[in-house]
Structure 1
C-alpha cells in the first residue's frame, strides 16, 4: 500500500512539472516581439485600444537596447517603445497615441541617454517650424509640411531637469500659428 501511495505522489508531481514546463515553453513560443516590422505590427494590433485600427509605421529606430517605433494610428501620431531582453528579443514596454492632432511631440526616456523629444506628424500637418525655450535656451526645429514625418528635437543636456516655456508654432510663411 505504501508503494502505491509513493507512486501516486511521484506521478502527480511529474504531471504537474510537465504541465508547468508546457505552459512555460508554449508562452515563450507564442509571444510576439518587436523584432521586425511584421511583428511590431502584430504587437500593436494585440494591444487594447489599438486592435483593428489602421497602422502605418514611419520608422524603426534603435538606440542601444531600446527600439522606438513612431507610427500613425488612423492617421494620428503615436509611438511604441521596446526594450531588448536577455534573449535578444524586443519586448514592448510603452505605447502612446494622440487623438485629434496632425502634429505631436513625445517625451522619451531612454535608459542610457537624456530625455529626447520626438515629433510625429501626419500628411495634414501645417506646422513648418517650432520654437521653445528649454532651460532658458531657445531651441528651434523645422518640419516638412503636408507629409508624415518623424523629427528629433535637439535639447540641451541637463542634470537638473528641464523647463519648457514659450512654445511658438509657425506656418511656411513664418507666421505664428499659435503659442503656448
Structure 2
C-alpha cells in the first residue's frame, strides 16, 4: 500500500510540474513576426512609438529575404522592415516613423549582396498635396507623380552609381504645378 501512495504522489507531482511549466511558458512574450497582416500589425503596435496606434497597412514589398511594409500609424506615414530567418519567419529589424507629415520619404537600402540599388519609399495620407516630385540623383533628374488625396505607398528605384555614393535634391509640386515647400 505504501508503494501505491508513492506512485500516486509521483504522478501528482509530475502533473503539477507540467501544469506550472505550461502556465510559465504560455505567459511569456512570444516572438512577433511579420508573416501576415495580423502579425505585422501586432509587431508595429509592440513598438513604443506605435503603442495603441491605429494602424493601416498600405503595401508590403518583399525583396529577397527582406520585407518592407508601408503603413499609416494614426494616419502618419511610416514603414517597418522585417528579415526572413532560416525557419521562414519574418523577424522585425527596424521601423521608421511615424512622420508628423502628410507625405514622407524613406530611403531603403535593400540587401547589398543582391546588388540592388537603394530605393525611395514615399508614403502619403489623404491630406497630401504632393502631385509630383523632381528628384536629382547625382545630376540625373527623375520625375515621379503621386495621386493627390489618397493613402498610398510609392516606390522609386534609384539608378546605380559607382561607389554607391548618392547626392539628392528634391523639388515637390502640387496639382497646379506650383512648387511646394518640403512636404509636411
What's the C-alpha RMSD, in Å, of the aligned pairs?
A: 2.4
| Equivalent in the alignment of 1:88 | 88
Structure 1 residues 73-82 or 105-114, which shifts more? 105-114
d(CA) in 1 for partners of 2:26 and 2:89? 16
Report how many residues are paired: 158
- Partners of 1:98 and 1:104 within 8 A in 2: no
Give the direction of change, closer, same or farther, for the CA distance of 1:129–1:97 in structure 2 (3 Å limit).
Answer: same
Correspondence for 1:39: 39
Change (3 A) 1:175 1:118: same
Counterparts of 1:33 and 1:179, CA distance in 2? 34
Q: Which runs of 5+ in 1 are unaligned?
A: 1-21
Q: Which has the higher contact order (CA 8 A, sep 6+)?
A: 2
Q: Please report how far the alpha carbon of residue 159 of structure 1 lies from its aligned counterpart in structure 2 after TM superposition.
A: 2.9
Runs of 4+ in 1 over 3 A off after TM superposition: 25-29
TM-score by length of 2: 0.79
- The answer for the alignment partner of 1:171 in structure 2 is 174
Provide the rounded CA distance (Å) in 2 between the counterparts of 1:80 and 1:169.
25
Cα separation, 2, equivalents of 1:132 and 1:27 = 50
Aligned to 1:162: 166
Q: Report how far residue 100 of structure 1 moved.
A: 2.1
The TM-score, its normalising length taken from structure 1, stands at 0.81
Q: After superposition, give the CA deviation of every residue in 1:136-173 in whole Å (9 maximum; x if it has no partner).
A: 001110000000011112321113210112x1111111
**Corresponding position of 1:129:** 132
Identify unmatched segments of 5+ residues in structure 2: 1-21
Distance 1:53 1:163, change over 3 A: same
Name the residue aligned to 2:71: 71
- Who is 2:12 aligned against? none
Query: Is the CA contact 2:58–2:152 (under 8 Å) kept in the aligned structure 1?
Result: yes
Query: 1:15-70 deviations in whole A, cap 9, x for unaligned?
Result: xxxxxxx9xx8799922211000011111111111110111000111111111000
Partner of 1:11: none
Q: Structure 1 residues 50 and 133, CA, compared in 2 at 3 Å: closer, same or farther?
A: same
Deviations 1:58-93 (A, max 9, x none): 011111111100000110000000000000000010
SS at match of 1:60: strand
